[in-house]
Amino acid sequence: MKVFCGRANPTTGSVEWLEEDEHYDYHQEIARSSYADMLHDKDRNMKYYQGIRAAVSRVKDRGQKALVLDIGTGTGLLSMMAVTAGADFCYAIEPMADAAVKIVEKNGFSDKIKVINKHSTEVTVGP
């Protein structure tokens, strides 16, 4: 089985999709990707968390369930922030979902985050 992986072409600046073996190492892909910049940017992550926490609190203050949709979840960081901030459940959409699933599981959020292995344009929200 083959999987598709997106890679930035430094010459054209566009993303190219390449076929990789099913045993492709997603951890290495994340380490080499722009995800590393986000994961290590404490100031930006704190601001994301504060914004997510405020949004979740507003929903909870109205007496509603806080359901979150994280499109392009990548590593699942923002989904985990949402659940930590009190979201009742989070749907994390990611076309290359294997890495996100492993990271969510390892951090103990599998019962509150559902990673959906689809592109966001292939997902319908609601009944």
76-115 pLDDT per residue, tens: 889 999 999 999 999 988 766 777 888 889 899 999 998 8
Superfamily of chain region 2-122: Vaccinia Virus protein VP39 (3.40.50.150)
Return the pLDDT at 46: 93
Q: With DSSP H G I counted as helix, E B as strand and the rest as coil, what are the percentages for the chain, rounded to 5?
A: 40, 20, 35
CB distance 109 to 83 below 8 Å: yes
**Dist CA 67 CA 89 (whole Å):** 5
Q: What is the pLDDT of residue 24?
A: 65
How far lies 89's CA from each of 8, 28, 41, 115, 122, in Å?
A: 32, 29, 25, 11, 20
In the chain, % of residues over pLDDT 70: 75
Beta strands in the chain (DSSP E): 2-8, 15-21, 67-71, 89-93, 113-116
Q: How confident is the model at residue 32 (pLDDT cuts 50, 70, 90)?
A: low
Residue 27 has pLDDT above 80, yes or no: no
Domains in the chain: boundaries: 2-122
First-residue to last-residue Cα distance in the chain = 33
pLDDT greater than 60 at residue 31:
no
